[in-house]
Amino acid sequence: MKKIDVKTALDFHEGMRLDKFLTELLPESGLRQRRRLIENGFVLVNGRPRKTGFKIFSGAEVALLKEDTRSCAAEIASRLAVIAQTDAYAAVFKPDLIHSARVAGSPEPTAEECLNDLLHNSKAILVNRLDMLTSGLLLVAFGAERETMFREYEDAGQVEKFYLARVHGAPERNFTVKNRLDTADRKRTKVLDEEDEPLRWTRAEILNVDGDGTAVLGVRISKGARHQIRAHLAHAGYPIVGDPLYGADGESGRMYLHHRRIAFPGFEAECDPEW
């Protein structure tokens, strides 16, 4: 990595968060993109990596480091598909076993690296992430303003994300998991005993109960957190089939979780799973 741009903070930058200050170097970037760069160590303050909430002080030298140049991998691009696209947003199908975005220190190719070429738009910003083992829809915003608008829709409860999940067990009725989540541990999300705001609830509907001890659930969320559906369903006693982290001990192979539909004002997209 090498420095590609440097900005010295002035008096009026005093107290500004690092993730906001980074717009001085990346004016067209979205908040999630800036935070990812900071979390992955590509932003230095006086030569040291800092956290996203670090408060800038006058005279601080903020350097943006260049990521390793990686082009879209052909084997990744061939497995992605554009499901819906407007001037503002696009929905792209991602199969399982592909990373949505770069993982710090990982050399593996990602779907994010293919978005500009796939969508023929240089302002493509990945708005949501799916776990590598989760298939389904990735939402893309064309420009930081569109990303901000989507976040406003989320905060207003105007976004619906619908997933399909095959789980162990057979629920007798539809249910809602309201527990707050602790995502401080980057590997595993912890389910707390306190109730969260309704926008963070996980609502599960029984679609089919199979004779093998599993069931297919339709799962709705509004604002997702990392591993929200996986952790909430396991907490309710219905872990997702194939989930190596929250499922039955020693599970491996395919994880049966699929982001099937997303809808918000002016945009909607849907795709069926491959299972």
| Tens digit of each residue's pLDDT (9 = 90 or more) over 218-232 | 999 999 999 999 999
pLDDT of residue 92: 98
253 pLDDT above the threshold of 60 = yes
Residue 206 is encoded by which pair of tokens? 């029984």
Decide: 25 and 89 in contact? Cβ < 8 Å: no
CB neighbours (10 Å) of residue 157? 12
Does the active-site annotation cover 5? no
Axis-axis angle for helices 31-39, 144-155 (nearest 10): 100
Q: How far is the C-alpha of 230 from the C-alpha of 188, rounded, in Å?
A: 10
Same-fold call for 74-153 versus 158-270? yes
**pLDDT tens for residues 55-101?**
999 999 998 876 554 568 788 999 999 999 999 999 999 999 999 98
User: Which contiguous run of DSSP H or E holds residue 90?
Assistant: strand 89-94
**pLDDT tens for residues 2-43?**
456 889 999 999 999 999 999 998 887 888 788 878 887 788
Q: How far is the C-alpha of 110 from the C-alpha of 104, rounded, in Å?
A: 12
Q: How far is the C-alpha of 241 from the C-alpha of 68, rounded, in Å?
A: 36
As separate numbers, helices (DSSP H) first and strands (DSSP E) second, the chain gives 6, 16
Amino acid identity at 117 = D
Q: How far is the C-alpha of 74 from the C-alpha of 78, rounded, in Å?
A: 6
Which of the four pLDDT bands, split at 50, 70 and 90, describes residue 106? low
Class (C level, CATH) for 3-65: alpha beta
Out of 19, 131, 185, 249, the active site residue is 131
Instruction: Give the predicted TM-score (pTM) of the model.
Output: 0.79
Topology annotation, domain 158-270: Pseudouridine synthase (3.30.2350)
What superfamily does domain 74-153 belong to in CATH? Pseudouridine synthase (3.30.2350.10)
Q: Residue 33, by phi and psi: left (phi above 0), alpha (psi -120 to 50) or beta?
A: alpha
Ranges of each domain in the chain: 3-65, 74-153, 158-270
Share the mean pLDDT of the chain: 91
Average pLDDT score over residue span 139-150 = 95
Decide: 260 and 165 in contact? Cβ < 8 Å: no
Which of the four pLDDT bands, split at 50, 70 and 90, describes residue 1? very low
